[in-house]
Amino acid sequence: MTPLQSFTAAANTQEGKTLFETTCASCHGKKLTGGAGFNLKDEMWVHGSKPEQILANIKAGFSQAGMPAFAAIYSDQQLASIVEYILSQREGLDNLTYKTYHIDSNAPQSFEIIDNLPIKKSGSLATNLMDFSLPEVKDYIIEFEADLYGPKDKAGQIFSMTHKEFFEIEIDGKRVEPSMTDWLRWAWPIKQGKQKIKIRYTTIGTKQRSDKRFKMFVMNGELTEKIFGITVSGKQYLNQATFNITPDNKDEVVRKKIVKLPTSSIAVGTPLNINYAFNPKTCSFVGVWSGNFLNVGPNIEGRGRDGSLIGGDWLFHMPAQIKPLVTDTTPCEFIQYHRSGNTSFTYRLGHQQYRVEAIAQDRSSLLLNYTLLSGQNGNLQISLPTSDKFKISTKQGEITDNLFSVNAKVGQSYQVLLSASENN
């Protein structure tokens, strides 16, 4: 075992995350997606992607680019933990190679024929992005092999915006059948995390004039979010699908499809970068996140089919929600929302009419102010989510078993405070 392997094996990823966020995030971004420094998450590694290369680069620094040497600042164990954390966040392809084969126009539509064909060209692609238009002949088979770093938390899918094209995909040596074969929507399931991938394509049986610069991505399992591109055109598509909405000096209200939220949600971004979504169908808060507001580019590029992406970090999202208790006799009936001042929502529960405002206190806390506008005095009950990412408190009423209860009086307001945890 090499020295790097010995202390990397013992490195604490959480320690690495903490060190990265305090030391590296200001240049490389909290999500490792880059800023003044390089993106450390995607497929492009200018100075090498192997653990020992990353460690050497952190130790030595790049003084000409403004990155100091950290060898004298942190111990080997601490630096190894940073490397471990960076590698744990990898996405995309790595060690991408290709082989091309020339075939006759009347060849069978099969990949078995390559066993008897000479390799016309082969090599590695430093971009780690596939390009199916590489061959300069009309009829060919091209084969790509690489390490694929997929989503860490759950299995995803490879998604291709193609139609009547002939692909074959293997994951860790086993052929994968497509889970979807719709018009411009082909998908193949993949595993979590790192895996070996092989993708073959043949021009036989396809439209000869079709553009071979296919848009391919890794998406979540539900095919609602394009996470990253794995072809040149796929990455270009996602780069173009960026249209960030940033609140200036007042709330910004958006009604567009958002990943992980009900389609009926009303999203509100605040100047203090604590943002939320309200579902008028259930009169409930269905998501809260801190950081940047929304990138609606995917929704625009996908013509409404793809969801917009939040720009920060979730505190919670559906199915968790902050929701008034309703019954058959006291259903929720949404009335309207107001955008002046703090955005507010008015709804009716039975004979009672309420208004709720979500007031940003700072980047990490949101005050929910419920006011009984009319009707009869009565008990207001709000079910609350739980998570180690935040805590919920009140100075009025009480919270028991994730339920806020207060004896509401007409004209009076009652507040619930949601605060992000310090380690979030």
- Tens digit of pLDDT for each residue in 82-100? 999 998 889 999 999 999 9
Mean pLDDT of the chain: 91
pLDDT at 331 over 60: yes
Q: What are phi and psi of 264, to 5 degrees?
A: -85, 0
pLDDT at 9 > cutoff 50: no
Tell me what pLDDT residue 163 has.
Answer: 79
Share of the chain above pLDDT 90, in %: 68
Look at residue 423 in the predicted model and tell me its pLDDT: 65
* Span 111-131, average pLDDT: 95
* Digit-coded pLDDT (tens) for 291-326: 999 999 888 887 787 889 999 999 999 999 999 998
Domain borders along the chain are 3-88, 92-224, 244-420
pLDDT band at 49 (very low <50, low <70, confident <90, very high): confident
pTM of full prediction above 0.85? no
CATH class of 3-88: mainly alpha
CA angle 71, 74, 75 (to 5 degrees): 90
- Residue 381 has a pLDDT of 95
Distances (CA, A) of 122 to 45, 100, 111, 118, 273: 21, 6, 17, 11, 49
CATH topology for the 92-224 domain:
Jelly Rolls (2.60.120)
Domains 3-88 and 92-224 share a fold: no
pLDDT tier at 198 (50, 70, 90 boundaries)? very high
Exposed, middle or buried: residue 106 (CB in 10 Å: 0-12, 13-18, 19+)?
A: exposed
Asked if 270 and 352 touch (Cβ cutoff 8 Å), the reply is no
Q: How confident is the model at residue 125 (pLDDT cuts 50, 70, 90)?
A: very high
Q: 37 pLDDT exceeds 90?
A: no
Tell me the C-alpha distance between 420 and 273, whole Å: 12
CA distance 45 to 34: 12
**Residue 208: pLDDT band with limits 50, 70, 90:** low
Query: How confident is the model over 13-33, as pLDDT tens digits?
Result: 889 999 998 889 888 988 888
